[in-house]
Amino acid sequence: MATSTLNVPVSVDEVAILALIDARHEAHHNKDGEAVAAGYATDAAVFSLAPPLMYHGVDAAEKQAWLDSWEGPVEIESRDFKLTVSGDFAFGHGFLRLSGTKKGVEGKVDFWMRSTLAFERQIGGWRIVHDHVSVPFYMDGSLRPAFDLLP
């Protein structure tokens, strides 16, 4: 069993997993809810930016409705993503920049969040089995999300 933690792809599995992540971000750009959902295992444990604490899997219709709440494309840029593959399991973390314009909201949304992803080799290929994204919040009494941080 080979375990590697690298910034550049060196194995077939690493290439496949990085392509899965790229496809997810391309699907956001294209506002294609089905394509976003396709990267996730049915019972993936998702810890999202908004409540609830957890939901299971990504519903294509709900994702489509969310994508449609934006004017134009939803852009996701990935940085400093570290991937570890161990057998039929993989795990990675890094930063994602989300940018775009919400319908009916003035100004552009543009901030960095933390992303942790876990993957499992399933029939049909690698799938996301866990997705945890978050923005820290200031503990200065304001409790406001720290949308101004850069990786």
Contact letters for a second copy, residues 91-130 (x by CB under 8 A): x-x-x----------------x-x-x-x-----------x
Question: What is the number of residues in the chain?
Answer: 151
CA distances from 143 to 42, 136, 147 (A): 34, 9, 12
Q: Give the shortest CB-91-to-a second copy separation in angstroms.
A: 5
Q: Give the shortest CB-6-to-a second copy separation in angstroms.
A: 14
Which of 6, 34, 77, 136 is the binder for a second copy (CB under 8 A)?
Answer: 136
Q: Would residue 140 be called left, alpha or beta, if left means φ above 0 and alpha means ψ between -120 and 50 degrees?
A: alpha
Interface positions, 34-63, toward a second copy (CB under 8 A): 45, 47-54
Q: Give the shortest CB-120-to-a second copy separation in angstroms.
A: 8
Q: Give the shortest CB-123-to-a second copy separation in angstroms.
A: 15
Long-range contacts of the stretch 3-10 (C-beta < 8 A, 24+) = 3/84, 3/85, 3/86, 4/84, 4/85, 5/82, 5/83, 5/84, 6/82, 6/83, 7/80, 7/81, 7/82
List residues binding a second copy (CB under 8 A). Answer: 1, 3, 45, 47-54, 82, 84, 86-89, 91, 93, 95, 112, 114, 116, 118, 130, 132-139, 143-146, 149-151
